[in-house]
Amino acid sequence: MAEAESSEPPWFTAFGKECGIDFVHDAGEVPGEYFMPQVVGSGVALFDFNNDGLLDVYLLQNAGPKSQSKNRLYQQLPGGRFKDVSAGSGLDVAGFGMGVAVGDFNNDGYLDVLVTEYGGVRLFLNNGNGTFTDVTKEAGLSEPGWSTSACFFDYDRDGWLDLLIVKYVDYDPSWKCSTTNSIRDYCSPKPFQGTVSRLYRNLGLKDGTSRVPKFKDVSVESGIGTLPGPGLGVVCADFDGDCWPANMATATRCSPTRATAGSATCPRRTRRCAVRPTSAAAWPSATSIMTAPLT
C-alpha cells in the first residue's frame, strides 16, 4: 500500500527566473579536451553586499578567462525578487571559478569577496557603493595553481580576518586519462600530487593611507604548509572550545575528512573567553562566509 502523502507543506520551494535569477552555469566546451577543472566548479555565496539587510546572491562561472560567461551578482529587492547588478559591479569576471569566501577583511563594515580559481585567486574590496575593486596584488596575495576553497577567520584574535586558501592537486593538462575500457575521460585526482593549503595573516591597517591591509604568508611557520591536499572544502571554527578559532577541517575527494586542531600554532588559553575588542570587527563578531566548489 502506498504511503499516505504528508499534509505538511514542503520546506523548500524551487524558484529561479520567476524571482529574477536567470543564471545558467557554463563549464566550457564539453567534452572538449577533457579539462579536469570543468568537472569540479563552481560555488555560490549568499551575502548582504550593500548592507540593506537582505541576502544577495553571487554565482560563479567555470568556462575560463576568455569566455563570455561571467560571474553574476544578484541584488535582492524588497519582496524577494532579485535584480542582476553584475555589469559594472567589478565582480563580473570570467575564469575557472571554484569557490568563494566572504568577509570584511579591512574592517570598514562592508563584506569583501575572495574567489578561488584554477589558476589563482582574486580578492575584491567592497567599495560600499555597489561596486568592487580587484585588490589581489595590492593585498600581497599570489596563488598560482589550483585553489578550490577558502575561509576568512581571525586565527590570532587580533581583530583582523586572516585567510586560509585550500589547494587541490598539481594538475597537468597534458596528462591523458581513460576509463578501464580505454575510453578517453576526465582525470581523477589520483594521478597528480596534492598541493598544500596556504595560511595568510592579515597585517591590518597601520598608516591610515590605504584601505587595503597586506597579507603575510605564514603557511610554513603555522604548520599548514606541511599538509598536502588534495583539498576541496574547508571549515574554520573553534572545535575544541578553547576560544581560539584556529582549528580547521579540510574535505578531500578521495580521502576522509582531516581535522587539524591547533594547526595555527596558537597558544592555549583558559575557556573563559573574554576578549577585549581591538577593532570594530574583532573576533568573534567578524563575518566570514565560504563555499566550496560543487562536485
Which residue in 155, 161, 146, 65 sits closest to 112, CA to CA?
161
pLDDT in tens, 17-27: 789 999 999 99
* 225 against 91, higher pLDDT: 91
pLDDT in tens, 119-157: 999 999 999 999 999 999 999 999 999 999 999 999 888
What is the Rg, in whole angstroms, of the alpha carbon atoms belonging to the chain?
A: 20
Tell me the mean pLDDT in the region 180-197.
92
| pLDDT value of position 258 | 41
Which phi and psi (to 5°) does residue 222 adopt?
Answer: -85, -20
Whether residue 189 is preceded by a cis peptide bond, meaning omega within 30 degrees of 0, is no
Q: How far apart are CA 243 and CA 275, in angstroms?
A: 9
Q: Is the pLDDT of residue 111 over 90?
A: yes
Q: How far apart are CA 140 and CA 103, in angstroms?
A: 17
Work out the end-to-end distance of the chain between its first and last CA atoms, rounded to an integer number of angstroms. 37
Q: Are 169 and 192 within 8 A, CB to CB?
A: yes
Tell me the mean pLDDT in the region 268-278.
36
pTM summary value: 0.83
| pLDDT value of position 248 | 54
* 255 against 213, higher pLDDT: 213
Q: Where are the beta strands (DSSP E) in the chain?
A: 44-47, 56-59, 72-76, 82-84, 97-103, 112-117, 120-126, 132-134, 147-153, 162-167, 177-178, 184-185, 198-202, 215-217, 233-237, 247-251, 258-260, 288-291
| pLDDT value of position 229 | 78
| pLDDT value of position 2 | 52
Tell me the mean pLDDT in the region 165-188.
92
pLDDT in tens, 229-254: 788 888 887 777 777 665 555 555 43
| pLDDT value of position 151 | 93
* 136 against 207, higher pLDDT: 136
| pLDDT value of position 34 | 92
**Dihedral over alpha carbons 279, 283, 289, 294 (to 10 degrees):** 140
C-alpha separations of 51 from 54, 109, 183, 245, 280 in Å: 7, 9, 51, 26, 16
Q: How confident is the model at residue 41 (pLDDT cuts 50, 70, 90)?
A: confident
Q: What percent of the chain has pLDDT over 70?
A: 80
Neighbours of 177 (CB within 10 A): 13
Q: Distance between alpha carbon 244 and the CA centroid of its chain, in Å?
A: 21
Q: Are 96 and 51 within 8 A, CB to CB?
A: no
Q: How confident is the model at residue 209 (pLDDT cuts 50, 70, 90)?
A: confident
- Cell triple for residue 66? 576568455
Q: What percent of the chain has pLDDT over 90?
A: 60
C-alpha separations of 90 from 112, 135, 180, 206 in Å: 12, 11, 45, 26
| H helix or E strand, kind and range, residue 222 | helix 219-222
Q: How confident is the model at residue 15 (pLDDT cuts 50, 70, 90)?
A: confident
| pLDDT value of position 72 | 97
Count Cα atoms within 13 angstroms, Cβ side, for 215: 27
| pLDDT value of position 271 | 38
* DSSP reduced 3-state for 223: coil
Average pLDDT, the chain: 83
Q: Distance between alpha carbon 124 and the CA centroid of its chain, in Å?
A: 12
Tell me the mean pLDDT in the region 214-239.
87
**Dihedral over alpha carbons 253, 73, 143, 236 (to 10 degrees):** -60
